[in-house]
Every structure is written in C-alpha cells, then in structure tokens.
Structure 1
Amino acid sequence: MIFANNEVAVCAATKADLYRIENMMQFYNYDFSEWYDIDLSETGLFRLQPKEAYWSQSSVKPFLIKMNDKLAGFAVIDDELTHDSSHYNLGYFFILRRYRGKGISQAAIQLLLNQFKGNWEIYSLRQNSVAEKFWRKTLTQFLGHVVESTDMKIHGEDSCLFKFSSIKNGGIPAT
C-alpha cells in the first residue's frame, strides 16, 4: 500500500523493510538525546529495545516515508492507547533533519490521517517543546480547528497528548 501526493509517499513497510526503520531509530534516539539521558552502548550505537514482538502485532502498521523516492523517515501506527474510544496511536514518527521544515512531515501526516480515519492519539514528550508546537500547528491545519491537548504521564514520562478525530466534517473532535 502506497499513498502519496506529488513528492511525498507513505509506503507500508514489509517485513524486509523493518531493518530500515530500526536503523533510522538510531537517529530518532540521537534526536531524543537532546532532551533525555540516552547513552550510547560500548559499540557507539544507541541500545534499541528488541522490536520483534512489537512488529508481530497485527495492530502495528509501520511505514517508510519517502521524498521523491528517497528514504526520508518512518511512521508507525499502533494501538497503545490511553482512551478506549481511540482507534489509532502514532507510536513513532521521524523525519531526517535534512527534510525538516519543508512540509514533508505535514504531507506525510496528512496522508496517514486521510488513510486511517477514526479517533487518534498523538503524544509528544513534554521536554520536546518543538514536537508539541509541530503537532499543535499540523493538526490545526489539517482539521481546521485547534486540537486540545492533555498533560499526562505516558510510559512514565510527562507528555502532551493530542486526542482528535481524523474524520473531516469540519474536524469533529473525538469524544
């Protein structure tokens, strides 16, 4: 499954593609090391939690994000939800730095939200204020209204949770 606009494509990752996502998680962790104590292992790489069990869940949907057919990042949808009324959680979202600030992230999110209609949860870690601003702006532009957020602990971390519906009709808020 591939959904795309003129330049940005969001492609369902195959089992053979999962190593690409795990490789990019090194850069994902590098970015997070700005705000959180994430140390390198003795090999000089970040320690990644084994993902086989995660990837094998039927609710986990990994995607490669491409810009003009070049790998630009990844997204993973799962069902690790905080509310029973939600359908989707954006478990991971990452765009390589060279592609940031060019509308690629917004295009990829729009493609995902248009493909997976329903009640969503997207959270950012509180210390990552850049991500919180990105989600607030991107979701407001997509839905046409401000999305309220809730402060809560998720996986033991102070987080900002955005809960909303991707079904347009003026952007009906999730209940």
Structure 2
Amino acid sequence: MNIAVTLTDSTTKFMINNLYPLYLHDLSEIWGNHPNQYGVFEDNETQTLNEQNKVFDIWWEKPGILYPYLIKEDGIPAGFALVATPPHTPPGCEFYLNEFFILRPFRGLGIAERAAKEVFSLHIGKWELQTNPTATNRRAQHFWRKTLKEYTGNNFQEECKKSFDDELKMIFNFCNG
C-alpha cells in the first residue's frame, strides 16, 4: 500500500469537492437523510453541487486554522480528512476531526486506520472526534475504538452525550502530546 495524506489548496480542492457528495450519500444511510428537491444532500435549497462546493470553500479560506487533507492510495483519491482548530472546535480541544471519509473500494484494507493515525500525528495536542451513536453506525464506532486504542495505547475517552451542535453523538477525546 502506498498511502499519502496531503494538505490540499485552492488548486487541488476539486478532488475533495468531487468526493464530498459521495460522503454525504454514505452518511444518509446512517442519519436517515434524504436529498433535497434538487437531488443534493443539503437541508436547504442548494440546487447544484457547484453551489454546495462554494459553501464548502471555507476549508481553503482559513489556512493554519482549517486543514483539508486528501487521502490517496497509489495516487488515486481514496478519501479525505477535515481537521479544524479553534475557534472551529468544541470547547476544550485543540483539534477536531470534523469529517473523515474513505471511499467504499478502499475500505477494509487498513487504509483508513493508517490515514487517520497519520492525520493525528500531524497535529499534536488535545483531539476530539464525533460519530453517530446509533446501531446504524456500528462499523464506524468499532473503527474509531480500534484505531484510537492502537494509536493511543488505549488512552482515550469515549462518551455518548449531546455535542456542541445539540445532537446526541458518540464523542471520543484523546491527547497525543
């Protein structure tokens, strides 16, 4: 396996933009979301993926605060990781894994674990990540428990509670510093 995690910029952001609708489609299975009347996975009246991408551009407008990483396997885009720092984090953490996604053909091969650990190692400090706590999301829950156990030597906290966005989430915290 030849896994690369690279920070994207305005010239390479299109690759994450291409993957983002697939990520939202995958999440719809877990959260029960439906596309809007225009076929876009958004709650609002976004009509095109181009419009959706413009809202998403904040990730490339705040370098040093927001970190949009592309994950490639043998040179092919396999997923992405979006890391936020204050003021875009929940209280008490320095780094927040806002989004993490691996395309289906690359799952179950160890790519996600290696990429997640590499992303964590790029930022040293107090981390938080969240995921859906329901039975529809057992695969992701298992993935994060296993990955964090290996990465931290089982030195992480997990709790199910309302997050900063007032939704019930499974919240993982750890410090890698």
Q: TM-score, normalised by structure 2?
A: 0.82
Q: TM-score, normalised by structure 1?
A: 0.83
Which deviates more from structure 2 when the two are superposed, residues 105-114 or residues 39-48? 39-48
- Distance in 2 (CA, whole Å) between partners of 1:71 and 1:53 is 21
Matches for 1:4-83 after TM superposition, within 5 Å: 7-47=2-42, 48=52, 50-58=55-63, 59-79=65-85, 80-83=88-91
* Alpha-carbon distance between aligned partners in 2 of 1:14 and 1:166, rounded to the nearest angstrom: 26
Contact preservation (8 Å) 2:84, 2:96: yes
Structure 1 residue 109 displacement after superposition: 1.1
Give the distance between the partners of 1:115 and 1:54, measured in 2 at CA: 17
Residues paired across the two proteins, number: 161
1:117 is aligned to 124
Structure with more helix by fraction:
2
Q: Which residue of 2 aligns with 1:134?
A: 143
Gaps in structure 2 of 5+ consecutive residues: 43-51
After superposition, the C-alpha distances for 1:55-98 in whole angstroms (9 at most, x for unaligned) are 323411001100111110011100232233x2100011000001
Amino acid at match of 2:14: Y
Check the 8 A contact 1:125/1:157 in 2, yes or no: no
* Counterpart code for 1:82: P
Tell me the distance in 1 between the aligned counterparts of 2:121 and 2:30: 31
* 1:107 counterpart = 2:117: no
- Residue aligning to 1:143: 152
SS in 2 for 1:15: coil
Name the SS for the 2:144 alignment partner: helix
Q: CA RMSD in A?
A: 1.8
Structure 2 counterpart of 1:164: 174
Structure 1 residues not aligned, in runs of 5+: 1-5, 168-175
Alpha-carbon contact 1:126-1:160 (below 8 Å) kept: yes
Separation (CA, whole Å) in 1 of partners of 2:154 and 2:25: 33
**1:11–1:63 Cα contact (<8 Å) kept:** yes
